[in-house]
Amino acid sequence: MEVITKIKQDTYYDSVTLMLVSSEIEKMEAVEEAMIGMGTDYNIESLQRLDMFGTEHEDATPNDLILTVKAADAKAGEKAIETAEEKLKEKSQSSGGVSAYNPPTQERAADMLPGANMVLISVPGEHAAKEAHEALDNDRHVMLFSDNVSLDEELELKEKAVKKGLLMMGPDCGTSIINGVPLAFANAVRGGNIGLVAASGTGLQETTSIIHQLGGGISQAIGVGGRDLSAQIEGRMTLLAARALDRDDNTDVITLISKPPDETILAPLLKELNSLSKPVVIYFIGADQAKIEAEGFTAAGDLENAAVQSCRLAGVDAADSLINQAEIEQKAAKIQLSGPYLRGLYSGGTLCDEAQRILHDRLDEIYSNTPVEGCHELEDLYQSKAHTIIDLGEDEFTQGRAHPMIDPTLRKERIVQEMQDPEVGIILLDVVLGYGAHPDMAGALVEAIEEGKSAADSPPLVAASICGTDQDPQNYEQQKNTLEEAGVYVFPSNVSMVKFAYQLFETT
Amino acid sequence: MKPIDSLFNEEVKVINLGIPAFRDDLDEQGVEVVHVDWSPPAGGNKKMQSLLNQLKG
C-alpha cells in the first residue's frame, strides 16, 4: 500500500462537498482509504488513526485542503488525487444562471443583493454564531443550519433576535419554508393557511408533505432548532414564530411539533400559546395527549395525525389517515416473514423515533442508537440485535461523512448486511425527497436491495415510506416506481409503513 | 410592524454562506440568492482570529 498526499494551501471547500468527494474516491478500484478534507484537528487525528499521517501534514492548517489517499500503488494513488481534484472543481461550479462572482463576505454579498432579508448559514459551527450575529445586527433573518453552536451562543442570538423581531431559526435547523421558499432540506408544498413551528427537521418535512398530500397547504413552516424548548432557551423562537403566525392574515391554523418541552417551561409556554387567537395543534412527541387537550389545544398522536388535524381545522376535508387500517391489514394479510426480527434503517431522526414509539408495545425488545422510553441502547452501532431501529443521521454515524439524506453509502452497506441475516424478516426504510436531498435515493437504495437479495437465501421483505410531494424535484412517482419494481412495499407516510409492520407482527 | 411580520409579505432574498448546493436549489426556483465564497477567517489561525475580533471590537 502507498500513501499519496497533496496539500493545497488556502483552498477552502465546505464539508458536504468534501465528504461526498471522499466517498466517491473510496469507491475507486485500488483505493483503500481516502481523506479529502480541510486540515482540521479532527481530520489530522483521523489521518493518524488510519496510519496515513506523514511529515507533509505537519504544517497543514484548517484553511488548507488535504488530499491523502491510501492505494494499492503510487500510480493508483496519484490517479485518485487527480480525480478528486476534478470532482471538487465540478461540484464547486455553479449550476448555471447564478452570478459568476461569489463575494468573500456577508457584507459584500449584501451590497450585491439590496433588500436581502434572509441569511442561510451552514459554515462550521465554531464560525457560525459570528455570522449569525452579523446578520441580525443588520436586520436580516437567520436560518442557522450549522450545528456545534453552544447553548450560550444560541441564547445570546435568540435574545437579540427577539428584541429585534427577527427570525433566528436554529442552530441545527435543517428545514424551513418561508413564503413558499424551501430553505435547506425542505419539500415543495402547496401554499395554504396552515402555519407550522417545529423543533424537528424531518418532523416538519413529514408533516408538511402529508398536509400537501391531504390537499392542504402551508403559509409558513418555521424551524426553530432542536433545543428551542429546553430549559435554557425557554421556547423563545417558538413563541416569536407562533405569535407572528397568529398575526399573519394568511394563516388560520398554527401547528407545533417538538420533543416535549422541558418541565420547567411547559406551564408558561402553554399559557402563552393559549393567548393566541387561532386554533393550535400540538404534537409534543411522546407526550400525554390528554394533558394537552385539557389545556384547550388540539393534540396530535403522531406526525401524520398532526397533518390530518391541521387540515381539518384549516377547512380541508381530510380522511383519518392516508391509508386506512383495513387497507393496511389487507396489505399485510398472507405475508409470512422469513425471519423473526425487524430492522429499521432511518435517515430521519424523528421518523426513527416515531417507529420505536409505535412498535415498542408490539415487539418485545427494540434496540436503537436513539432509544425512546421502553427501548434499549444498541451497544455495537454496526451490529443489530433482535429488533433494531437506528437513525443513521446521528452524529456517531456522520463523523467524517455527509448525512444519509445526501450520501446513501453507509445505509446501502447496512441494507446489504441486514438482508443477509437469516433472522431478519423485514427492513424499514425512509426515503426523504425534497430540496437538499439526494437526487435519486430510491435508485441508490434499490442497488443495495438487489445486491442483498442476490446474496441471501431467503431475503427479508423491504418496506419504504416516502416523505415528499409530487412537486419535489426528484419526481415522486418515479421514486415510488423504482422501489415497487424492486419488490419494495411503498407507503406515503412513516406512520402507515410502521402500522403495516405492526400488523405483520400481530399476524405472525 | 415587526420585521418578522413584514417578512411574510416580502419576497425572500437570500445570502447563502456555506454549502453551495443550497444556493443552487434556491437559484433553480428563481429565488434571488448571492453565495458567499466563505473561508475561515485569518486562514484558520485561531490566535490571529482572536486578535482580529478584538480589533473589530
Which pLDDT score, from 0 to 100, does residue A343 have?
A: 98
Which pLDDT score, from 0 to 100, does residue A16 have?
A: 82
Q: Does A97 touch chain B (CB under 8 A)?
A: yes
DSSP A435: B
Q: Are residues A74 and A122 in the same domain?
A: no
Q: Are residues A71 and A137 in the same domain?
A: no
Say if residue A215's pLDDT is above 60.
yes
Longest dimension (CA), chain A: 70
Q: Which of the pair, A252 or A17, is modelled with greater confidence?
A: A252
Q: Which amino acid is at B43?
A: G
Number of domains in chain A: 3
Q: What is the mean pLDDT of residues A17-30?
A: 88
From A61, which residue of chain B is nearest by alpha-carbon distance? B44
pLDDT digits (tens, 9 = 90+) for A395-408: 888 877 788 999 99
Q: What is the CATH number of the domain that holds A448?
A: 3.40.50.261
Q: Which of the pair, A334 or A137, is modelled with greater confidence?
A: A137
d(CA A439, CA A188): 14
Residue A470 counted as domain residue: yes
Q: Are residues A464 and A374 in the same domain?
A: yes
Q: Are residues A381 and A288 in the same domain?
A: no
Say if residue A131's pLDDT is above 60.
yes
Residue A98 counted as domain residue: no
Say if residue A504's pLDDT is above 70.
yes
Residue A167 counted as domain residue: yes
Q: What is the CATH number of the domain that holds A43?
A: 3.30.1360
Show which of A313, A347, A370 is a domain's final residue: A313
Show which of A279, A313, A347 is a domain's final residue: A313
Which pLDDT score, from 0 to 100, does residue A94 have?
A: 54
Q: Cell 418496506 maps to which residue?
A: A463
Least confident of A100-109, A277-286, A439-448, A463-472: A100-109
Which pLDDT score, from 0 to 100, does residue A280 have?
A: 98
Q: How far is CA A476 from the centre of its chain?
A: 18
Which pLDDT score, from 0 to 100, does residue B44 have?
A: 52
d(CA A310, CA A254): 8
Q: Are residues A305 and A329 in the same domain?
A: no
Which pLDDT score, from 0 to 100, does residue A96 have?
A: 46
**How many Cα atoms are found within 13 Å in the side-chain-facing hemisphere of A438?**
22
Q: Are residues A276 and A363 in the same domain?
A: no
Q: Are residues A261 and A330 in the same domain?
A: no
Planar angle of CA A101, A102, A108, nearest 5 degrees:
110
- Full DSSP string of A50-106: TT---GGGTT--TTSEEEEEEESSHHHHHHHHHHHHHHHHHHHS--SSS-S---SSH
Which pLDDT score, from 0 to 100, does residue A402 have?
A: 83
pLDDT band with cut points at 50, 70 and 90 for residue A63: confident
d(CA A425, CA A29): 33
Say if residue A363's pLDDT is above 70.
yes
Say if residue A95's pLDDT is above 80.
no
- Number of helices (H), then strands (E), belonging to chain A: the values are 18, 20
- Percent of chain B scoring above 70 in pLDDT: 72
Show which of A92, A114, A137 is a domain's final residue: A92
Q: Does A236 touch chain B (CB under 8 A)?
A: no
Which pLDDT score, from 0 to 100, does residue A507 have?
A: 56
Task: Report the residue of A9, A142, A179 to disrupt the B interface, i.e. the one with the largest count of B CBs within 10 Å.
Answer: A179
Q: Which residues of A touch B33 (CB under 8 A)?
A: 98, 113
Q: Are residues A284 and A146 in the same domain?
A: yes
Residue A267 counted as domain residue: yes
Q: What SS3 class is residue A398?
A: helix
- Percent of chain A scoring above 90 in pLDDT: 82
pLDDT digits (tens, 9 = 90+) for A151-196: 999 999 999 999 999 999 999 999 999 999 999 999 999 999 999 9
Q: Does A63 touch chain B (CB under 8 A)?
A: yes
Q: Are residues A156 and A263 in the same domain?
A: yes
pLDDT band with cut points at 50, 70 and 90 for residue A97: very low
**Structural domain boundaries, residue A53:** 2-92
Residue A200 counted as domain residue: yes
Q: Are residues A223 and A113 in the same domain?
A: yes
Contact B29 A135 (CB under 8 A): no
Q: Are residues A402 and A438 in the same domain?
A: yes
Average pLDDT value for chain A: 94
* B14-17: strand order across its sheet: A168-169, A141-144, A118-121, B14-17, B33-36
Cα separation values, A150 from A141, A157, B46, Å: 19, 11, 18
pLDDT digits (tens, 9 = 90+) for A268-283: 999 999 999 999 999 9
